[in-house]
Amino acid sequence: MGAGILWYNIAILIYGGHYGIINGNVCSERAGFMIFKLGELFCGPGGLGLAAKRASIENDKYKIFHEWATDYDRDTCRTYKENICNDRPDSVIHRDIRKLNMKTLNPIDALVFGFPCNDFSIVGEQKGMDGVYGPLYSYGIKGLLTFKPKWFLAENVGGLRNSNDGNALTVILSEMHEAGYSVFPHLYKFEEYGVPQARHRIIIIGIRKDLNLEFKIPSPIPYSNIDNSSYAAINNPPIPKDAPNHEFTRQSQRVIERLSYINPGENAFTAKIPEYLQLNVTGAKISQIYKRLEPDKPSYTVTGSGGGGTHVYHWKENRALTNRERARLQTFPDDFIFYGSKESVRKQIGMAVPVNGAQIIFESVLRTFAGIPYESVKPNMESIIYHQEQNKVG
């Protein structure tokens, strides 16, 4: 029996069966007990799933439990199953979202959707709503209308702010509002929250309007003393040689020689490299090509795709990081095993949300529902925050 199911059964025994379904939530009015059953669209390998599973606040009667998750990638689904819900493998559905019948899924109280960011990322062509992936956010809206969860978390890259001349984000937030939610968007800089990586993501928290709750952005101040350097993340503690997903890349002699001329923080274009080792690249020169980490600073953004020179490079050794080292920069624990080919694992890690950063946000949601105050900051975006009061007719 899995830990989540065991805990759920113990709770029923403790509270003497005083359970009912209240607005779709399993809870006890007498005990003030609330379990949020979580559904995930575009679930990825489980960064958000693990963060939700770990989320814990001062009032331990508030919890988030996995109900179901879905993704189009087979390896990703296996990774999620094995690490998040190996006692309920059938709760992970491997299917293209466009062919998924949401009405066949179990009721949920909370929805998470990190809709694909390919068309919004500053690394790509930024096709926005006109790309293949841009319109997929609409399935998150469909999920809100289908399940009417008490709250949701939506995630995407910072480039979403400027997509389609800034209109894409406005449209998305407006549709969330029209679905019945107050929305609280914020551009999180995860390195400010103790994550050893400069990863900037827009996270939108939505709370159903009838609940009359306001989500506040958690302050990064409580995490300012965390050592989030690349060195600490990768070396403390040392990664065991037999750790899963820790295979080293076989670098060519030419790449090894090129790296030997690159100092920490430099890349293939800023370092003084002999002409015969320089890259023959025209047009834009991406700053992360063969870029070495700086050991005393957080890593630059770990990505899930890209050709030679995009694998994140060790500050001292002439090599790319292993997938396990990249996973540490994403704050996955060493016992979290990724499945699939080496390149598939790299993609899964690069597309994930940092576990520790996401956990902070989930815990803030739980505190919001539990009525527990926490240190907060003002949103750093021009927020389109809708409240029920704004729509009342006098």
**Closest listed residue to residue 41, CA positions, set 95, 119, 109, 104:** 95
pLDDT digits over 177-193, tens only?
Answer: 999 999 999 999 999 99
More confident residue, 89 or 9: 89
User: How does residue 119 score in pLDDT terms, banded at 50, 70 and 90?
Assistant: very low
Q: Which domain holds residue 74?
A: 3-222+355-391
The whole-model pTM stands at 0.87
Domain count, the chain: 1
User: How does residue 392 score in pLDDT terms, banded at 50, 70 and 90?
Assistant: very low
pLDDT exceeds 70 at position 162:
no
Specify the pLDDT at position 114: 83
Whole-number percent of the chain with pLDDT over 90:
73
Residues with a known catalytic role? 117
| Residue 44 in domain | yes
| Residue 250 in domain | no
| Geometric angle at alpha carbon 157, from 154 and 161, rounded to 5° | 95
Specify the pLDDT at position 231: 98
Specify the pLDDT at position 130: 42
Per-residue pLDDT averaged across 194-199, rounded? 97
| Residue 55 in domain | yes
pLDDT exceeds 60 at position 310:
yes
Question: What is the CATH classification number for the domain harbouring 43?
Answer: 3.40.50.150
| Geometric angle at alpha carbon 125, from 122 and 128, rounded to 5° | 80
How far is residue 243's CA from residue 227's CA, in Å, rounded to a whole number?
23
Which range has the worst mean pLDDT, 15-19, 154-158, 275-279? Answer: 15-19
pLDDT exceeds 90 at position 103:
yes
Query: What DSSP string runs through 43-77?
Result: -TTSHHHHHHHH---SSTTEEEEEEEEEES-HHHH
Specify the pLDDT at position 157: 65
Q: Other C-beta atoms within 10 Å of 225: how many?
A: 8
Specify the pLDDT at position 163: 54
Specify the pLDDT at position 37: 97
Specify the pLDDT at position 165: 55
Per-residue pLDDT averaged across 122-127, rounded? 41
| Residue 36 in domain | yes
User: How does residue 167 score in pLDDT terms, banded at 50, 70 and 90?
Assistant: confident
| Residue 282 in domain | no
Say which residue the tokens 């059953």 belong to: 37
Whole-number percent of the chain with pLDDT over 70:
80
Chain mean pLDDT for the chain? 86
pLDDT exceeds 90 at position 306:
no
Which residues make Cβ contacts (< 8 Å) with residue 117, sequence separation at least 6?
133, 156, 157, 159, 160, 351
| Residue 160 in domain | yes
| Residue 343 in domain | no
| Residue 227 in domain | no
pLDDT digits over 56-82, tens only?
Answer: 999 999 999 999 999 999 999 999 999
pLDDT exceeds 90 at position 256:
yes
How far is residue 123's CA from residue 199's CA, in Å, rounded to a whole number?
13
Per-residue pLDDT averaged across 193-213, rounded? 96
pLDDT digits over 324-335, tens only?
Answer: 999 999 999 999
